[in-house]
Structure 1
């Protein structure tokens, strides 16, 4: 008579595939939250302490950077509150935040460089590199999420919709 190995339920298998909040994810979440809050405080303090009237594009840039920092802080806070498997949703969200931030920042820098008549190629080159990296991360995150959801359906016996 041979001993059978204990069988795992579908839920236990899923937990092993994608733990809800590993130490690594907690550290990432806290880092995003702290960096986002610190960035928000820093950018806001810099924005409001500038002497004299600022041009409209400067107000826009400060507002955008503040929004990006708040997005990262919100992401970190959201990630810390999750107690269920995320199936790489966190990676997808982080990728999209990075893609939007790098695209908008590149566009703003290109407009400023064009208005000043210098450095447009550099702004587009460096910005394009950041956008390309962010795009690769978004594609990889979506692929990872799709693989995890496919595995979830296999383990739970659900058919694809």
Structure 2
């Protein structure tokens, strides 16, 4: 007869995990926090210093840029405050925030460039590089989460 280890419940397993962040994750969390905060301050200062009343679309663009920066600030702050490893679902959420932010930013910058007649090539190329990177992260996050869920079902004997 083989020695079987006692089966741990999900709660017991979670309690055994070390609730600390790796150095790399802490650096990424600080980078998200600082970049988000710097972006928020920069966009808010730019928005507030614009002379005269701004058109509605410009107000919306400034609002969206500020919201994206605040989202990254909150994400970095939350990760540092809770000092927990980034789980698969959080990676998926962060990747989709990046996809939404990069896609919206690319569309807005391309629209502004088209209206000003300054050329679309550079804004589209740069924007599409960011969108592609964000989509790559989203696909990888979904694949990683899917692999973990399949492994969990294998270990618990659940059927799909």
TM-score, structure 2 length as denominator?
0.77
Q: Is the 8 A contact 1:92 1:141 kept in 2?
A: yes
Q: How far does residue 51 in structure 1 lie from its aligned partner after superposition?
A: 2.7
Number of paired residues?
Answer: 155
Residue in 2 aligned with 1:69? 69
Q: Specify whether residues 36 and 119 from structure 1 end up closer, same or farther in structure 2 by C-alpha distance, changes over 3 A only.
A: same
Displacement after TM superposition at 1:144 (Å): 0.8
1:153 corresponds in structure 2 to 153
Deviation at 1:67, TM superposition (A): 0.6
If asked which structure has higher relative contact order (CA below 8 Å, sep 6+), I would say 1
CA, structure 1 residues 19+90, in 2 after alignment: closer, same or farther (shift >3 Å)?
A: farther
Structure 1: gaps spanning 5 or more residues: none
Give structure 2 stretches of 5+ with no counterpart. Answer: none
The two structures have a TM-score, normalised by structure 1, of: 0.76
CA-to-aligned-CA distance 1:44-66 (integer Å, 9 cap, x gap): 12211223333333322221110
CA displacement, residues 91-119 of structure 1 (integer Å, 9 cap, x when unaligned): 21221111111100111112112212231
Q: Report SS of the residue matched to 2:75.
A: helix
Q: Distance in 2 between matches of 1:43 and 1:8?
A: 55
2:105 corresponds in structure 1 to 105
Residue deviations 1:123-158, cap 9 Å, x none?
222222221121111000110111122223333x14
Note the aligned Cα RMSD (angstroms).
Answer: 3.1
